[in-house]
Structure 1
Amino acid sequence: MKPRYGYRTLRAGRVSLPGHIYLLTAVTACRRPLFKDVDLAREACRCIYEVSHWGDASLLCWVLMPDHWHGLVQLGDRDEVTTVMRRFKSAISRRLHCSPAVWAPGYHDRALRQDDDIKAVARYIVANPLRAGLVSHVLDYPYWDCIWL
Structure 2
Amino acid sequence: MRALVQRVKKVDLSVDGELYSKINQGLLVFLGVSNEDDTSDIDYLIRKITGLRIFSDEDDKMNLSVKDIDGEIMLVSQFTLYGDVRKGFRPSFTQSANGEKANDLYLEFVERLKNEFPKVQTGKFAADMQISLINDGPVTIQLDSKKEY
TM-score of the aligned structures, taking structure 2 as reference length: 0.31
Which of the two has greater strand per residue? 2
Flag the structure with more relative contact order, 1 or 2, with Cα contacts below 8 A and sequence separation at least 6.
Answer: 2
Structure number having the greater helix percentage: 1
Q: TM-score, normalised by structure 1?
A: 0.31
